[in-house]
Amino acid sequence: MCGIVGYIGQQPAPPIILEGLQKLEYRGYDSAGICTIDGGQAHIRRSKGKLVNLARLLAAVPMQGSVAIGHTRWATHGKPTETNAHPHKAGPVVLVHNGIIENYLTLKKDLHCNNHNFKSDTDTEVIAHLIEHEMVRGSGFEEAVRAALQELKGAYAVCLVSETEPGMMIAAKHGSPLVVGLGDREFMVASDIPPILPHTREMVFLEDDEMVVFKDGSARFSTVSGDSLTKIARHIDWSPLLAEKDGYRHFMLKEIFEQPRTVQDTLAGRLLEDEEDVCLEDLGLNDSELAQVRRICIVACGTSWHSGLVGKYLLEEHCRLPVEVDIASEFRYRNPVIGPETLLIAISQSGETADTLAAVREATIRGARTISICNVIDSSIARETEGVIYTHAGPEIGVASTKAFVTQLVALYLLMLRLGRVGGSITLERMLPHFATLLHLPALMERALRLDSAAESIARRYQHAGDFLYLGRGINYPIALEGALKMKELSYIHAEGYPAGEMKHGPIALIDENLPVVVLALKDRHYQKVISNMEEVIARGGRVIAICTEGDNEVALKAESVMYLPECSEWIAPILLSIPLQLLAYHMSSIKGNDVDQPRNLAKSVTVE
Ligand code: F6R
C-alpha cells in the first residue's frame, strides 16, 4: 500500500502535493518523492524515511510548477532507499504508482533486450520504461500510456506526466483505489479522499481499467482501451478525520474491512498457475536447501505467535515435518535444541519485536537456517534472517493486529505449499485444489464481513460480562486464543482461549450462567467433538455464542447466539473465523467507549524486552 497524489491547475503545485502526501502518510512512510513539470522539464526530489525529510528538502531547495505528482511509499519490491522511492522516470515519462505489477520481471527482461537500463529495484520503473518504449516507436504520450497499461498484470493506480506534454496529466487504475477531484479548471487525483477535501468536494471514483486525461482545463474520462466515458461526480461532505479513515469510525474497523484486498496483495504474483508452483521471491533458501530441512521451529509474540500455531497444523499435515512453536521471550532463554537441519521461522508484523529479533540471533548463532514472515519491509527481523516472506498488508495503524495476522496465515499457507512441493509431500495433483481455495478466499472473506451487525448485537448483549471463554479444536484452537486476546486487549474484559477438549481438565469449573463461551463449531473433522463440548457448557448453564457453518440448524437450536460463516476448506477456516472474532472484540471496545485504535498500556511495536 502506498499513497499517490497529483495536481494540475493554476496554483503552485508543490505545497498542494506535500499537504496531500501528509494526509496519505498512513498508507506508507518509508520514503517519499515529488515531480513537478516546470519550463517543460521534469524536476524530481525524493528522500528516504518519513515525509518530513522530503518537506525539509523542499524547504531548502524549493520547486516551481503548477503540474505535479507525489508519492509516499510502503515498500513492496525493492528496499526503502532514495533510488527506489517514486516518482520513477524513463526518458520524458515520470510516474507514481500504488500497487504490485505481477509480471514486472518478464517485462523487465524484454525491455533490457531493447536497451532499457533500470535504476531501481522496483516493479514500478518497468511501467515508465514501457511507456517510453511505446513513445520511441512513435506513439504520443496518451496513446503510449494506454498501450503500456494493457500489458500489465497485477494492481495499479498511476499518475503520470511527460516532458513532451507539459500541460497534461494522466491517471488510471486497476485494482488499487483512485479518486479524482474536479475543481474549477484545476484537478487532483489521490489514492484516497483526504488530500482532495481542502480543494474540492466534487469527486469521481475511478473504476478498474478507467483512465482520465487532464489537459487545457478539462478532464476527459475513458476506459484504458480508449472508449470514452461520462462519469458523474459525487459530493463528499465528510469531515477530514472521517475521510482519513475512509468513512470508518476507527482505523481498526477499516483494517478489518480491508482484509480481502490485503489477502489479494499477499497472494499477488505468488501462485504460478501455469507452473503449478508457488513463488516466494525473497525466500533466501533454494530448493536443495529447503529439501534439507528436517525440523521447523517457529518463534513469535502475541498475535503473531497465534499465527505460528496455525502454521504448525498446516506444515505438519502437508509437509510432514515436525514443527515447534515458541513464544520468542521463552525461546531465547531456553537453551533450545536447534542446528543446521532446523528451519527457524520468525513471524512479526513490525519486524522489530525485541524478543523475536533476539530469538533470530540465538538461532543464527546455533547454525539454524532462518527465514521470517514480516509486514514491514527491510525491518530488523527481515534483514537479519536469510530470507523473508513479506505479507504486503500495508501499514497497520490500529494497535491490535488484524490484517497483518490474516496475511501471516496466508504467507504460512504459501510457505507450506512451497515446502510441500520441494519435499515431495504435495504432488501436482494435490496442489491445484489449494490454489482454488486461496483464490476463492477473498470472496469468502467478503461474506464473513457481512457479520458486522450480528457481531455488534452480540457485543451489546454480552457487554456486562466479566469474563469470556473461547473454545476451538485442531487448527481453530489457535483462533480461540486469538479471539480471546483480541477481546481482552480491546475491551479490557478478561478472556481465555482453550482447546475445547481440555475443558474437562479444569476450566469447566468456571462455567455458570454469567459466562459467555464462544464456541468455534465449523463443520470440519472435529465438528462432533466440538458439539459435545458445547453441550457440556450448556448443561452447566453457560451462555454459548457459536460460530458455525451456514445452514447448521443443530447448533442454532442449542446456542444462545449464533454467527454463520460460509462453508470452506478447513485450511482457511482460521482466516474466516478470525473475522467475526475481530468484529466482536472491536464492537465490545467501541460500546464500552474504549480507545479502540490505541488500547491502554499497549504499543504497536515492542522494541524493548
Ligand atoms: C495483538 C498484537 C500483539 C503483536 C505482538 C507481536 O493484537 O498486535 O500481540 O502481535 O506484539 O508484534 P509483531 O508481530 O510486530 O512482532
Of 95-99, 179-183, 189-193, 237-241, where does mean pLDDT reach its minimum? Answer: 237-241
Of 148-152, 376-380, 429-433, where does mean pLDDT reach its minimum? Answer: 376-380
Active-site residue, from 2, 297, 301, 374: 2
Between 50 and 8, the more confident residue is 8
Whether pLDDT at 27 is above 90: no
d(CA 156, CA 484): 37
Whether pLDDT at 142 is above 90: yes
Q: Residue ranges of the domains in the chain? A: 3-244, 253-439, 449-591
pLDDT at res. 365: 96
**pLDDT, tens digit, 9 for 90 and up, residues 273-309:** 888 889 998 999 999 999 999 999 999 999 999 999 9
Question: Distance of CA 424 to CAs 246, 313, 571, Å?
Answer: 45, 18, 19
pLDDT at res. 518: 98
Please indicate whether the domains covering 3-244 and 253-439 agree at the CATH topology level.
Answer: no
d(CA 423, CA 568): 26
Of the CATH numbers 3.40.50.10740, 3.30.479.10, 3.40.50.10490, 3.40.50.880, which one belongs to the domain with range 449-591? 3.40.50.10490
**pLDDT, tens digit, 9 for 90 and up, residues 250-263:** 999 999 999 999 99
Whether pLDDT at 410 is above 90: yes
pTM for this structure?
0.79
d(CA 264, CA 241): 27
Question: What confidence tier does 495 reach under pLDDT thresholds 50, 70, 90?
Answer: very high
> Does 395 sit behind a cis peptide bond, omega within 30 degrees of 0 on the bond before it?
no
The secondary structure of 366-417 as a DSSP string is TT-EEEEEESSTT-HHHHHSSEEEE-------SSS-SHHHHHHHHHHHHHHH
d(CA 279, CA 388): 12
Question: What confidence tier does 76 reach under pLDDT thresholds 50, 70, 90?
Answer: confident
**pLDDT, tens digit, 9 for 90 and up, residues 356-377:** 999 999 999 999 999 999 998 8
CATH architecture of 253-439: 3-Layer(aba) Sandwich (3.40)
Q: Which residue's alpha carbon is nearest to atom 11 within ligand 1?
A: 302
User: Which of 252, 256, 303 is the pocket-test mutation for ligand 1 (most atoms within 8 Å of CB)?
Assistant: 303
Whether pLDDT at 245 is above 70: yes
Give me ligand 1 centre to Cα 301, in Å.
6
CB atoms within 10 A of CB 60: 8
pLDDT at res. 40: 94
Give me ligand 1 centre to Cα 36, in Å.
40
**pLDDT, tens digit, 9 for 90 and up, residues 464-487:** 999 999 999 999 999 999 999 999
CB atoms within 10 A of CB 94: 26
Give me ligand 1 centre to Cα 353, in Å.
8
Q: What is the 3-state secondary structure (H, E, C) of 565-576?
A: ECCCCCCCHHHH
pLDDT at res. 24: 87
Which one-letter amino acid corresponds to residue 42? A
Q: Which residues line ligand 1 (CB under 6 A)?
A: 301-304, 348-350, 353, 356, 400-401, 485, 489, 605-606
d(CA 580, CA 564): 9
Whether pLDDT at 84 is above 80: yes
Of 106-110, 130-134, 375-379, where does mean pLDDT reach its minimum? Answer: 375-379
pLDDT at res. 394: 85
For the chain, give the percent of residues with pLDDT over 70.
99
Backbone angles phi, psi at 312, to 5 degrees: -60, -45
Answer yes or no: 604 catalytic: yes
Whether pLDDT at 194 is above 70: yes
pLDDT at res. 28: 78
Question: What confidence tier does 105 reach under pLDDT thresholds 50, 70, 90?
Answer: very high
Residue 593 burial (C-beta neighbours within 10 Å; 0-12, 13-18, 19+)? exposed
CA 158 to chain centre: 19
Is residue 70 a contact partner of residue 21, using CB atoms and an 8 Å limit?
yes
Domain 3-244 of CATH type 3.50.50.60:
no
Is residue 134 a contact partner of residue 119, using CB atoms and an 8 Å limit?
no
Whether pLDDT at 134 is above 70: yes
